[in-house]
Structure 1
Amino acid sequence: MSVTTTVSELRDLLDSDEPPVVLDVRWALGDPHGHEHYAEGHIPGAVYVDLDRELAAPPSAAGGRHPLPSLDDVQAAARRWGVRAGRPVVVHDDLGNTAAARAWWLLRRAGVSGVTLLDGALGAWRAAGLPLESGLPPEPEPGDIVLADGGLGVTDADGAAELAASGLLLDARAAERYRGEVEPVDPRAGHIPGAVSAPTGENLAADGTFLPADALRKRFEEKGAGPATRIGVYCGSGVTAAHQIAALEIAGFDAVLFPGSWSAWSSDPSRPAARGDQP
């Protein structure tokens, strides 16, 4: 099952008799203007996806800043986007797919096998000299997709702690947040004791595409992954951790997501926090 679609492949698909649904998840931490950025220029026919409203439930201390939405809510959103059974879906953002991976993960978890990430995200489309359109297009024709629970796995705080102790728990945040030197958004600084630092940005080449599979495999093996290793991933609020899961899949590893991530863990005073560059 492919994780990515190249720009040239997407261009050809859009020119075909059965073009894919293209989802634009324009989101970045601290930037609430994703919809405006989309309106300024997007891949022709792409549908804007609001990460905070459509890819997450309301925040809470227990669930973190981006709790998982219900299956019914994901299905309703997917139908608004025009997703239909058997129709491919290509997802991207303008940030190396670190936000778009949340939509990829949610749809994959809900049984949509034909969903991929546009390798290199919007930057690769621009670099290829391909056109963008501006403005707000009409709503797409509603889809009829029927989603089912299952697929990609999740864990909770207790499960994350257990993976840190007896499996491999990867922290996908920037290294300085892992070390506890800074914490811009969550209640406490540090990391889950036993977790291994694996910043999401290191999954990508300089042009924003995923590293080759063998390079990603070597990266994760050096972090402790192996054929029988149980792997979990967390980040700040369960968004960029989905990108890590995509990279792990490219490398040949399965992993579960801790959706609450550090935002939920650090909100619970009973949960310990470690600092420094060691697990």
Structure 2
Amino acid sequence: MALPTLISVAQLHEMLEQKDLLILDSRFYLTDLEKGRQVYELGHIPGAVFVDLHHQLAGHETEQTGRHPLPEPEQLADTLMALGIDNNSQVVVYDDMGGAMAARAWWMLVQQGIEVYVLDGGFPAWQRAGYLIEAGENTPTPSTQRLNISYPWLVSEDDVVANFEAERFQLLDARAADRFQGENETMDPVAGHIPGAMNRPFMHNLNEQGMMKAPALLLDEWSGLLQDLEKPIVYYCGSGVTACHNVLAMNYAGLEAKHVYVGSWSQWAKRMLRKLDEANV
């Protein structure tokens, strides 16, 4: 069954009074973890509720995980109840980076069977359209329904290790080409990429206005990349966030995509450091 993907600002504007609509503002900045809430409070789409990617849509980072591991299922169930999300909700999530951050929330929710869309162009597109913006903070009405959370589309580090021998899937990295090639690593202690991975920077899914490219164009670009590929793809990035944008773009183009190695390069780099330390003992 086709997944819900994008919604336009015009469509969202027409839906604002809809009873079961919940709008999530997921603006997030890796180098300033407080900025997302700050810009939300300065101005957001009417009715939107802030969701914190770092604290609500990720678990605690450890020496064994990437920067943004998935929260435990019970933790996410608590979060969704607090946000007012249940099986009847229609969710729209947005950011100000072409969906790069919003796609993480979309990926986490859509695999729970929730009807969730990413706002095409995000907050900048809403502003360009001249629609109303409100300041302050909205407090959601908690849901009385607790969802049974699971992550069927999650790929683990062990799965990636086993795949070197099993060769069941192809890895695809969503980071910028220079980071993929190990030329400009500022986030993680080791530069490079997982052996055998291909590269499709998530920014290639967007046009100059930060909107998703047309489905036909995406289909052409992705088909050209994957034309000789017979294995399914597992998507990764730096910490399991922008990889979800490639999943979103693939589905928008009418292609099947689901699975993300959430640990991504930030977890794999830690693995490499441990192996180096073990070799030097």
Give the TM-score taking structure 2 as reference length: 0.89
Q: What are the Cα deviations for residues 143-189 of structure 1, in whole angstroms up to 9, with x where unaligned?
A: 23432345751212243352795532110011110010011111200
Quick one: which of 210, 216, 237 aligns to 1:235?
237
Relative distance call for 1:85 and 1:166 in structure 2 (3 A) is closer
Q: Secondary structure at the match of 1:233?
A: strand
Q: Give the corresponding residue for 2:159.
A: 159
The whole-number CA distance in structure 2 between the counterparts of 1:121 and 1:270 is: 37
Residue aligning to 1:257: 260
Specify the SS of the correspondent of 2:80.
helix
Structure 2 counterpart of 1:26: 27
Percent identity among equivalent residues? 37
Q: Cα deviations across residues 64-103 of structure 1 (Å, max 9, x unaligned)?
A: 1001111211111111112133120000011111011111
What amino acid is aligned across from residue 264 of structure 1 in structure 2?
A: Q
Match of 1:96 among 95, 98, 101: 98
**Structure 2 residues not aligned, in runs of 5+:** 277-281
Distance apart, 1:260 and its partner CA: 0.3
Of 66-75 and 210-219, the range deviating more from structure 2: 210-219
Q: Deviations over 1:229-272 (max 9, x none)?
A: 31110000001111111111112122310010000001012789
Residue 135 (structure 1) aligns with: 136
Match of residue 270 from structure 2: 267
- Report the secondary structure of 2:117's partner residue: strand
Three-state SS of the structure 1 residue aligned to 2:24 is strand
**Aligned pair count?**
270
SS, match of residue 266 in structure 1: helix
- Please state how far the C-alpha of 1:108 moved relative to its aligned partner: 1.3
Q: Superposed, which structure 2 residues align to 1:10-49 within 5 Å?
A: 10-16=12-18, 18=19, 20-32=21-33, 33-49=35-51
Q: Which residue number corresponds to residue 194 of structure 2? A: 192
2-structure distance, mates of 1:207, 1:217: 19
Displacement of 1:19 after TM fit?
5.0
Output the CA distance in 1 between the equivalents of 2:128 and 2:111. 31
Please give the TM-score of this superposition, normalised by the length of structure 1: 0.90
Q: Given that residues 67 and 266 in structure 2 are in contact (C-alpha distance below 8 angstroms), is that contact kept between their aligned partners in structure 1?
A: yes
**Secondary structure, aligned partner of 1:267:** helix
Structure 1 stretch displaced more, 255-264 or 101-110:
101-110
**Structure 1, unaligned stretches of length 5 or more?**
274-279
CA distance in 2, matches of 1:226, 1:144: 48
